[in-house]
Structure 1
Amino acid sequence: MARWFNTAGPCNPVDHYMLPALRRLPEVQRLIDQKGYFVVHAPRQVGKTTALLALAQDLTAEGQHVAVLVSMEVGAAFPHDVGAAEAAILNSWRSAARAQLPPELQPPPFPDAPPGGRVASALEAWSVDAGKPLVVFLDEVDSLRNGVLISVLRQLRDGYRNRPTHFPASLALIGLRDVRDYKVASGGSDHLGSASPFNIKVRSLTLRDFTEDEVAELYAQHTSDTGQRFEPEALALAFELTQGQPWLVNALAKVAVEELVPDTSQPVRRANIEKAKAILIQRQETHLDSLAERLREPRIRAILEPMLAGGLLGDVSEDDRRFAVDLGLLRRNPAGTLEVANPIYREILVRSLASGTRDTLPTIQPSWLKPDGRLDTERLREAFLVFWRQHGEPLLATAPYHEIAPHLVLMAFLHRVVNGGGTIEREYAIGRGRMDLYVRYGQDTLAIEIKVWRDREPDPLTEGLTQLDGYLHGLGEKSGWLVLFDRRSGQPPISERTRAEEAQTPSGLPVTVIRA
């Protein structure tokens, strides 16, 4: 039976191309041997459930433990009723045990207990009945909230001292967040922070992304099964775009081999991976959509807004920075600076932020196209100037991030320009002092640098021309735009101060400066 690239739920080796699940969690076996209670946290769809389910199966098969992965998610439907949440959770556990364990290792009937003690009573009875050390992996535990979450964590802490004969010998909490970031609504905070009742944990582990070699190894399984190979340039681009994020790695390949190159006699080329990326971004499927939802959270906005503006982070707590990394939204580059985790996420974040503005745009006639359908950058400039003078002021209010509102309005306009016929690539980072855009429309391209003139700052023209010079040379372009958004207080209306002028970069490249 043919295998495929999986983008939904845990992987299994019969149906899916997959790498050894525990390769990215080498410390787990030692923690279990030491009867440790620990946390495994990582973003959605990077392989947590797959890895721990595989480990549970291996531990049980080896005969020294009874190991099972169970979910806490059904309890989330009862955020204010501990008893009802516990009943739903324990019923789910029994179903999971039937699916994972042979009849002789099934748990005994769970004893009756008052609300707030049923999880601990069930684990105690199961541990006593198992006859071997019980290992339990609690998946989706951070889906619980408030009193239910606190109750479960306190029950685990209370039973911990009775292990290994009267409570699980080893136990793991599995979720998106470390314990300190579990959601609560008490104590003046929306997360546990350092006050976690699960202070018995030995370690908090996270699941790393694939390496470049592992991406090639995963794709090679498809080649082995079907004969269809990925060209080296396609492999390199797949890693560059995803930085090894497992869902993206699988999703790119799935689109490429099932939709773009279904003929297995044909190789997957770099252009196919480029097209697959565009399709994923356009569809913004569940994984990417859930990522975009994070952008409105104050903890995330405090980091992303200055990053998109090219500014400095300012006073952002270590907990908030670590939270953004734990979610998989950001990563630390080799220099130690925070950046968006991969180029696909970088595109998704900005598209999502600009989506409301894009949907608010008035109808714009494509006056920037030549009769043969090519892009006319001079007409495009004039069209933008007219658009900005007429609609810039009210559209700024539609942008969710005030600091980059002009950027988002410009990008919304450019999305109308390239709609269906081109792409926009973006570069931004902490401390760059700018955002760079590269517009592709058919065979035509346009490089744009965006800078902002703020109160108590000098005119950014000279610095912008120097930066644009380097950007153009890096792209191999001979001209481009420098867009200077004047955000100083007390300025004339946008309709009066918006204009374009010609200038040269330090190396003599002709550019258009748009002051808006």
Structure 2
Amino acid sequence: MNRFFNTAGHCKPEIHYKVDPLPRLPIVKHLIEGQHYFVIHAPRQTGKTTYLYALMNRLNSEGKYSALTVNVQAAASARDSEHAMMIVATAIFRQARLRLPESEWPLPVEKPKPDVFPFGQIGDYLAAWAEKNPKPIVLFIDEADFLTEDMLQTIIRQLRAGFEVRPEGFPHSVALVGLRDVRDYKVRTCSEWEQPDIGSLFNIKTKSLFMEGFLLSDMEALLDQHTAETGQEFDPAVRNEIFRLTQGQPWLVNALANQIVAEILENDFRQKITLAHVTQAKEELILRRDPHLDSLINKLREPAVKTVAEAIICGNALLPDSFGNDLAYLRDLGMITGKAPVKFANPVYSESIPRALNYAWQVSFNPDIADQTRYIRGGHLNMDALLSVFQKSCSRNMDIWLENFDFREAGRLLMLMAFIQRIVDSDGMIEREMAMGSGRCDMTVTFRSDRFLLELKLQRDRYGEEDGLKQIAAYIDRMGSDHGYLILFETNSEIPWEKRIYRKEVSQEGKRITLLGM
């Protein structure tokens, strides 16, 4: 059986293509040697667990440490703190039996009474293991952020208590690993966030390490393994497009490659991989909404995520929150870029998120106005006709459509995106350029051989048209065209619709611009 691209769980080199993860966090070896306690955090399916297993195996093969990776996610369902400690200790013992020689095992978790943890505290269990073990212990606590605040607080307090007697009487080095940095968790009671925050409790940590996605060289090394084993090549243009779409997000890289090789080409390694296959694979992933994308989209229900996502879609500036917590949270989720201008992290997310938000509109437009034959003649899309019909429909229905929509401000833009998506369907493609603070959303709509440039902008003040014309002219120039559309959505509900709806042909910096008000 050939190896394949992994899209579920940590990578196993005997069945999955896998790049060496250890160079991704080279400082960790130094932290372990210095008896440090530290944090590793990264978005889901970035390769954290694959990294931990590789490091555990490397350390154990070198023979200096007893290294163990233990997943504590199951403890999140515990009835109480004592039950949770029993689950964690049992997970440590079971994993040790699989990964370590018997002389390095901790004590078994025998229960003299049902549901009573015999060691009193998890810290006592770790201390007993360290005293018994002939080697220093290196412990990686994976999925730590799945624990309840109380349980995480309990574990951290006990790690801090045992820290001073390491390595003879407590683990030599410990890493808490999860989605978020431990500093972002606080002990919560009732409905209020109260001090102390868990980050201050874990003041023994030396470093908090964020695991980035693949570099281009990492992705190429992964694809090269497939070529070496099957002879099927990813040519440079295909590689560049996969990296452009994913920005190195490890799950997306593997998912796109697997979709092309296993699903579209059905493991026929004689077939050439083309750019069309990449586009098809991206579309199928977005429509299928695998758990990776689905879990990200479900986060849009959270107020902090909604605030940032809507600011990106509309191009709004974000009002300062308390210490930038909203941005830090979305960065930890992997949803946004870490540097200004803040955008969705990659083009796949940039397409998935708006399409998830506006999908109900896309499938529920009146069939009379969403009939493709009204706008497509001889294989060409009549964008003027499409926008005119949408304008008229807005004047009659937009207020009703937006009434109960959570993303009300972005809803105007999302509604037009949904209408265009409905018309172009599988024969076309929409690429969006969205960034916080940009003041607009730029779109390229490709339909077969036709290409249309649009700028969607909220009209907030008397400068909206002036600024928008300059922005769309610059976009047209950058895209090497001579014509584009500026769509201005009026935000002042007191202005009647008959004054909001207009159309003008404008020249700006030598570019032809069709200006439509809505």
**Which bracket does the TM-score occupy, shorter chain normalised?**
over 0.9
- Residue 207 of structure 1 aligns with an amino acid whose one-letter code is M
Count of residue correspondences: 509
Is residue 459–residue 465 contact of structure 2 (8 Å, CA) maintained in 1?
no
Whether the 8 Å contact between 1:184 and 1:191 is mirrored in structure 2 is yes
- Structure 1 segment 95-494 matched on structure 2, within 5 A: 95-110=94-109, 117-182=120-185, 184-186=187-189, 188-189=192-193, 193=197, 196-261=200-265, 262-316=267-321, 317-333=323-339, 336-358=340-362, 361-363=365-367, 364-366=369-371, 367-370=373-376, 372=378, 374-454=380-460, 457-492=461-496, 494=497
Number of the residue aligned with 1:501: 503
Q: How far apart, in 2, do the equivalents of 1:202 and 1:509 lie?
A: 56
For 1:151, give the aligned amino acid.
Answer: T
Q: Is the 8 A contact 1:480 1:511 kept in 2?
A: yes
Per the TM alignment, residue 231 of structure 1 is displaced from its structure 2 partner at its CA by: 0.8
Partner of 1:61: 61
Under a length normalisation based on structure 2, what TM-score does the superposition of the two structures give? 0.92
Contact 1:356 1:399 in 2 (8 A): no
Q: Give deviations 1:403-440, integer Å, cap 9, x for gaps.
A: 32211221222222223332211111122211112222
CA deviation digits over 1:252-302, x for unaligned, max 9? 111111123333223322222222212211212111111112223222333
* Cα separation, 1, equivalents of 2:17 and 2:422: 38
1:219–1:230 CA contact under 8 A, matched in 2? yes
Match of 2:384, SS?
Answer: helix
How does the TM-score come out when normalised to structure 1?
0.92
How far apart are the structure 1 equivalents of 2:350 and 2:197?
28
1:14 paired residue number = 14
Is 1:514 the equivalent of 2:516? yes
Is residue 356–residue 398 contact of structure 1 (8 Å, CA) maintained in 2? no
The DSSP-based 3-state class of the residue aligned with 1:258 is: helix
Distance change in 2, residues 1:114/1:250 (3 Å): closer
Q: What are structure 1's unaligned runs of at least 5 residues?
A: none
User: Alpha carbon RMSD of aligned pairs, Å?
Assistant: 2.3
* Code of the aligned partner of 1:433: G
- Cα distance in 2, alignment partners of residues 117 and 181 from structure 1: 28
Amino acid at match of 1:294: K
In 1, Cα distance between equivalents of 2:472 and 2:404: 28
Q: 1:81: how far off? A: 0.8
Residues in 1 aligned to 2:194 and 2:434: alpha-carbon distance in whole angstroms: 30
**Would the aligned equivalents of 1:399 and 1:409 in 2 still touch at CA under 8 Å?**
no
| Unmatched runs of 5 consecutive residues or more in structure 2 | none
Give the C-alpha shift of residue 213 in structure 1. Answer: 1.7
Q: 1:116 to 1:129 in 2, by over 3 A?
A: closer
Tell me what 2:3 maps to. Answer: 3
Give the partner amino acid of 1:145: T
For residue 143 of structure 1, what is the amino acid of its counterpart?
A: F
Q: 1:94 to 1:362 in 2, by over 3 A?
A: farther
- In the TM superposition, residue 310 of structure 1 has moved relative to its aligned partner by 1.4
Of 483-492 and 412-421, more deviation after overlay is shown by 412-421
Quote the offset at 1:441 in angstroms: 2.5
Q: Which amino acid aligns with 2:32?
A: I
CA distance in 1, matches of 2:365, 2:300: 21
- Give the aligned partner of residue 88 of structure 2: 89
2:97 & 2:404 partners in 1: Cα distance? Answer: 52
On the 8 A contact 2:370/2:419 being kept in 1, the answer is: no
Give the 3 Å change call, closer, same or farther, for CA 117–339 of structure 1 in structure 2: farther
The answer on whether the counterparts of 2:473 and 2:508 sit within 8 Å (CA) in structure 1 is yes
Specify the SS of the correspondent of 2:171: coil
